[in-house]
Structure 1
């Protein structure tokens, strides 16, 4: 018994059947797709990184049973194969997703998650090391309008102002105790005392902390400003965590911590001040968390805002 050869045209496609319950759907697609994507590094070069990608379109035809899902997947495989992710590129990719559905869809969205590696110099020694910054790019195309959100996090050190004040008080009391007897004081004597173990009665508590940031970007710019925003936030906080550290770097870091005492409320305001001055940002949402060394819980502050046009 002979059979005719199978071709795509002869294969059953039940996705074209009418939906049993007629109803449009907000989003249909795939999540956590493994994909290599291209991004710009700190020098403007294009590099390839591993990413996890979500893609979806709406199903506006109430009678259609499903979308052409394989078309989304195949287009996604080619979307960032040869060029870095940029706002104009994201617009083109999303428009291609909509057109691939042959009238079934009018909106498309894309979410890309990856870790961005940046090389950071030590504070004093001249050594360098790599830091990773988790990044999430959300893009949605609706009625020709691109909404683009960039999310990332920055880690830093936070030294408690209250603990620092309490420590200074104990240090002052020990100084008064040790020098209660009348004797000549000189700069040399006081300096030797401060450098001794007696010169440090208490230390303030500090902890690794994290600022999680999401910014809605204005569509007038052709590049994602990740590097500039990370630099601005780390400068505003003053104490970003370090990579390669020698003794001179650790001492410089301790000095920066003393100069940048902050509660989580202070840190949130610093980050907001840096973002509110950036013309590329439409709005921002910030969450800072101090992973307390004093308590078994975290101290958290959140702030959001919209920049003037």
Structure 2
């Protein structure tokens, strides 16, 4: 009848219903791939907004409870992080809110944030600029007695094989000996022409796009200085991939590669030295992969370490 109020019935909540196996607790329960705009000060004082994919979890410690309240996690994410700045105190507060929202069900919480961070990079010689995007991952975990925060980044660079370079130089020497016998006088103009000819420089070392995956566990009170991590890694590796490239930039890149021969083992050791000396790092893990142009498989090296608190 018009104007007559309908009776209000409570909405069913089957998550609190009985479970089939009442003695099974669960390590983590939650959601993955939540789209969320966030902002980050990467260490240069500028806040930059990105679209992230966020994973949110709590454990299910109360074995007789069928499930958690996932909508609570989602709403807390939006309240604490949606469009807001990511920093350690904010992440800690969010994880505490996760646990409080499931009081009696959970005593641990976990958060993972993944995004691509754009950085404006200058060309090597031409004066042009372009954008490089770096895959980034931030993971925070809160337990009954500990809060941990990890920062991960991926850096792409070029690696020229030292063995291939040595073999190429040997072939060039042999070709020079054939083209310029010892009993013939050397003519500078002829040699200059030979050096600029494909028949003279008949072999070149193989180089490949390579990837360094860095993951650092931050010391207590350390900031999320993402740019410092990325810039330090690129400086150590020496030949990061470029954005804007004119011919003079490409020539400079070729020169840098020729002066920067490295195996994957060399790259991993360079990065280890950087992270060992970096402020605010408690421990780290490194994975380096050279995506070989010689083989159909990759050359890979791993390194890890614990740092003294600084």
Tell me the TM-score normalized by structure 2: 0.92
User: How many residues get paired?
Assistant: 306
For 1:307, the equivalent position in structure 2 comes to 307
Match of 1:271 in 2: 271
Match of 1:51 in 2: 52
Q: 1:70 to 1:112 in 2, by over 3 A?
A: same
| Alpha-carbon shift at residue 79 of structure 1 (Å) | 1.8
For the pair 1:285 / 2:285, whether they are aligned, the reply is yes
Q: Distance in 2 between matches of 1:291 and 1:136?
A: 22
* Structure 2 unpaired stretches of 5+: none
Superposed CA offset, 1:20-40 (max 9, x none): 432332211111112222222
Secondary structure at the aligned position of 2:82 is classed as coil
State the shift of 1:82 in Å: 4.5
CA distance in 1, matches of 2:104, 2:173: 76
Query: Structure 1 residues 21 and 196 mapped into 2: Cα distance closer, same or farther (>3 Å)?
Result: closer
Match of 2:226 in 1: 226
For residue 274 of structure 1, report the CA deviation from its aligned partner: 1.2
Q: Aligned equivalents of 1:299 and 1:62: distance in 2?
A: 45
Q: Please tell me the root mean square deviation across aligned C-alpha atoms, in Å.
A: 2.0
Counterparts of residues 28-43 of structure 1 (less than 5 Å): 28-40=29-41, 43=44
Structure 2 counterpart of 1:244: 244
Q: Secondary structure, in 3 states, of the residue corresponding to 2:209?
A: strand
Deviates further, 284-293 or 232-241 = 284-293
**248-257 or 96-105: bigger deviation:** 96-105
Mapped partners of 2:305, 2:20: distance in 1: 45
In 2, the alpha carbon distance for the partners of 1:216 and 1:147 equals 7
Task: Report the Cα offset of residue 110 of structure 1.
Answer: 0.4
| 1:197 partner SS | coil
Structure 1: runs of 5 or more not aligned = none
Tell me which residue corresponds to 2:8.
6
- State the Cα distance separating 1:68 from its structure 2 match: 2.1
Following TM superposition, by how much is the alpha carbon of 1:109 offset from its aligned partner in structure 2, in angstroms?
Answer: 0.4
Please name the residue that 1:196 is paired with.
197
TM-score (norm 1): 0.92
- What does 1:16-165 correspond to in 2, within 5 Å? 16-23=16-23, 24-40=25-41, 43-165=44-166
Q: Could you tell me how far 1:269 is from its partner in structure 2?
A: 1.1
CA displacement at 1:282 relative to structure 2: 1.5
Superposed CA deviations along residues 103-126 of structure 1, whole A, max 9, x for unmatched, are 321111001111111111111111
CA distance in 1, matches of 2:293, 2:114: 30
Please say which of residues 167-176 and 122-131 is displaced more in the overlay.
167-176
* 1:181 positional shift: 5.5
Matched residues in 2 for 1:298 and 1:107: separation? Answer: 38
Q: Verify the 8 A CA contact 1:87 1:219 in the aligned structure 2.
A: no
- Contact kept, 8 Å, 2:284 with 2:304, in 1: the verdict is yes
- 1:235 is matched with 235
In structure 2, distance between residues paired with 1:32 and 1:254: 40
